[in-house]
Structure 1
Amino acid sequence: MSMLLLVRKETVSTRYKVVVCRDLGPDVMPLLRGKPELELVVWPEDRACDRRWLLENIHGAAGVIVMLTDKVSGSSLQVVSTMSVGYEHVDVNAVAKRGLKLGYTPDVLTDAVADLSVMLALMAGRNGGIGISVVQKGQWTEYPWAPFGFCGPQLSTTAASPTRKIGFIGFGRIAQATLARLVPFGITHCLYSSNPSSAPSSERDAQLAQKYNLQSVKRVDIDEVARESDVLFILAPGGSGTYHVVNETLLRKMKPTSILVNASRGTLVDSDALAKALREGWIWGAGIDVVEGEPQVSVDHPLVKEPKCVIVPHIASATLETRRDMATRAAQNLIAAILGGQMPAQVDLRGFA
């Protein structure tokens, strides 16, 4: 993923030049255009911002609103505002060293990502990818109804299977929102692993168990999460600390009927190891919203070749409401940082640089 590089600060004129790397739509652009102090330069096309255009226009800019793919250098920036919850694409150390402000868009996409996580779990468990492919290829007539045709493990509990254990790698806002959506399916246990440096939250876990009438909400080591989970959701931050946290060793510990869902960062999952796990039946299926190296994911990609891997193209936050809210937050962060005021969502840069 590209890095955001910042080399030096310069004085700016009374009007503040702002570069916007994508038109943010009719509901959000008026927030920026309505500020006479801002001189807007907007990338005019609905595709990734051209690097040459960006480099030509960033000179003298006080602020920039970027997407996940944008790369900036040689600027007078005061603020970088990214329309994303993750900021791995930003050179945070450089931002902190130069005393710049960094805005991002957490919270607003929690519900959308949680919704999609549950969808992926259902699709992967019930062979949704295979079923859709059969219909779209006109092959339904080749698959007459059979007692166990297209069957997969049921997410909800039954009289014969009264226990369902849901696991999370990462147990922040999105994971907890996903858990809440799973409660009506009869989930009985929640297991999770989180950053070893984070303090235990036994009181919160007990409150969640009581609130959702679960037998337990428990923090355990990552190996136990893998062994015990019927569905394992990967909802942790990216970065070097979580790179390929889901690897062959971990996948071999999972149940043959278990489902893996990744709606966080592609780098958390070793694609080759996951493809091998699906091919050899270590796990039942996988639902993937993010893939390492995306969008360079062709028909020859090892995960695309696996019928039991349902892949969607990084659309977890892709609801009209959420993207509008993310764009609004990105604009508000930039306006507050340049014109004075409290940024709605500012990255804490203490400890960087």
Structure 2
Amino acid sequence: MALLEARAELDVIVWPEDRACERSWLMENVVGATGVIVMFPEKVNTELLDKAGPSLKVVSTVSVGYEHIDLKAAAQHNLKVGYTPDVLTDAVADLSVMLALMAGRNGGIGVDLVQKGQWPNFSWSPFALCGPQLSTTAASQTRKIGFLGFGRIAQATLARLVPFGITHCLYSSNPSSPPNYARDAALAKQHNLRAVSKVDIDELARESDVLFVLAPGGSGTYHVVNEAVLKKMKRTSILVNASRGTLVDSDALAKALREGWIWGAGLDVVEGEPNVTIDHPLVKEPRCVILPHIGSATLETRGEMTTRAAQNVIAAILGEEMPSQVDLSTVL
């Protein structure tokens, strides 16, 4: 806000409440705007852009994803679109490791046991509430970590897992992208791993002790983690999704957990969110830890995201280069 308010040439209109903006307020106040900053829940479509009118130059979103923005419509209106990549890498990587630990060590079940007052009634036994250990306990062991998508967040997550003693990193990314052998060899040397290898999704599913889903959303990755993939995973494996809910078939994952194909799952995103109620099939699964899409929810990261969004909108309005601009050249 300080960045915006410091520009005397800008009239800043602000939704005054600390909650999601009402659509009716946005539609009323976007009329005649030169730029608009939106959050992830707000849909930027033809209706909104037409309402804004020809004065609108830029849409800046406080998010790394921009599925809520109709990019084709934005291009047709000759707009610039800003987003906030890079700044949330560390926060999401931290959360991904947390989800892996919570899912593997029955964190959700344990917290529920205490919060419902059932700990006094819990009968201890040698293997009660045990789960697969993330760290290795002997030099002879292997621990293979898999990544569906191997961008900045995945590589930051890998770096955080190195102290746990992981031995192999497997990843599957865009099939059209050739393997980067030099980069992979450098990562293996940097992290003292036996190998960093690009594999197909079937091998990724079979070999990963923990499989992190950290790929972009969209039609190309819709339900890429489906029943066939889940059936190939180990019975002691963990699935973590901190990217987009649409990548994982929720019904297939619920079945996999219910029937014991995999050990557990840690999710920060679910398809159809936020409409995830107690009747949702994944909510009913004790070994599925679900968080309400809080991957970027640290004070530091949200501060950087909102700063970047303000910088984007100011630069576009003044005809300067935006710090983070979505390439719209190929969407028409």
TM-score of Structure 1 vs Structure 2, range by shorter chain: over 0.9
Could you tell me which amino acid in structure 2 is paired with residue 231 of structure 1?
Answer: V
The alpha-carbon deviation at position 94 of structure 1 amounts to: 1.5
Q: Which amino acid aligns with 1:263?
A: A
Q: Does 1:73 align with 2:45?
A: no
Q: Distance in 2 between matches of 1:289 and 1:141?
A: 30
Alignment partners' CA distance in 1, 2:83 and 2:178: 24
- What is aligned with 1:129? 108
| Pair 1:344-2:327 in alignment | no
Q: Does 1:61 align with 2:40?
A: no
Distance 2:205 2:329 in 1: 34
Alignment partners' CA distance in 1, 2:290 and 2:113? 16
1:8 alignment partner in structure 2:
none
What do residues 67-120 of structure 1 show as CA deviations (whole Å, max 9, x unaligned)?
Answer: 111132322310010000000111111112332111000000000000000000
Please state how far the C-alpha of 1:160 moved relative to its aligned partner: 8.2
Counterpart position of 1:232: 211
> Does 2:122 align with 1:150?
no
1:39 is paired with a residue whose SS is: coil
Counterpart for residue 20 of structure 1: none
- Residue 187 of structure 1: which of 166, 179, 186 is its match? 166
Contact 1:55 1:73 in 2 (8 A): no
Give the structure 1 partner of residue 238 of structure 2: 259
Which of 4, 17, 20 is the matching residue for 1:48?
20
1:158 Cα offset (Å): 1.4
Matched residue of 1:343: which SS?
coil
TM-score (norm 1): 0.90
Taking only the aligned residue pairs, the percentage that are identical comes to 75
Q: Does 2:197 correspond to 1:218?
A: yes
User: What's the counterpart of residue 289 of structure 2?
Assistant: 310
Question: Does residue 178 of structure 1 match 2:153?
Answer: no
Q: CA deviation at 1:53?
A: 1.0
Q: Give the ranges of 4+ consecutive aligned residues of structure 1 lying more than 4 Å apart after TM superposition.
A: none
1:243 matched to which residue of 2? 222
Cα distance per residue 1:159-187 (max 9 Å; x no partner): 28610000000000000000000000000
| 1:301 maps to which of 280, 283, 291 | 280
Within a 5 Å distance, the mapping from 1:110-129 to structure 2 comes to 110-129=89-108
Q: What corresponds to 2:147 in structure 1?
A: 168
Alignment of 1:86-105 (within 5 A): 86-105=65-84
* SS of aligned partner of 2:185: helix
> How far apart, CA to CA, are the structure 2 residues paired with 1:201 and 1:137?
50
Report the Cα distance in structure 2 between the residues aligned to 1:240 and 1:103, rounded to whole angstroms: 22
Find the aligned partners of 1:234 and 1:118 in 2 and give their Cα distance: 12
Map 1:326-345 onto structure 2 (within 5 A).
Answer: 326-345=305-324
What displacement does 1:155 show?
0.2
Residue 267 of structure 1 deviates from its aligned partner by 0.5
Q: Which amino acid aligns with 2:306?
A: A
Partners in 1 of 2:151 and 2:121 — Cα distance? 45
Gaps of 5+ in 2: none
Deviation at residue 216 of structure 1 after TM alignment: 0.4
Report if aligned partners of 1:188, 1:215 keep a CA contact under 8 Å in 2. Answer: yes
**Residue 54 of structure 1: how far off its partner (Å):** 1.0
Of residues 315, 321, 326, the one that matches 2:300 is 321
> What is the Cα deviation at residue 144 of structure 1?
3.2
Opposite residue 2 of structure 2, the aligned amino acid is P
Tell me, in whole angstroms, the C-alpha distance in 2 between the residues paired with 1:253 and 1:222: 10
Q: Which moved more, 1:234-243 or 1:39-48?
A: 39-48
Q: TM-score, normalised by structure 2?
A: 0.96
**Offset at 1:143?**
1.7
Letter paired with 1:123: M
Query: What residue is the counterpart of 2:257 in the other structure?
Result: 278
CA–CA distance in structure 2, aligned partners of residues 134 and 289 of structure 1: 21
Instruction: State the SS of the aligned residue for 2:232.
Output: coil
- The letter for the 2-side match of 1:65 is I
Match of 1:10 in 2: none
Please state how far the C-alpha of 1:125 moved relative to its aligned partner: 0.2
Partner letter of residue 39 of structure 2? Answer: M
Q: For residue 122 of structure 1, what is the amino acid of its counterpart?
A: L
Instruction: Provide the secondary structure at the position in 2 that maps to 1:318.
Output: coil
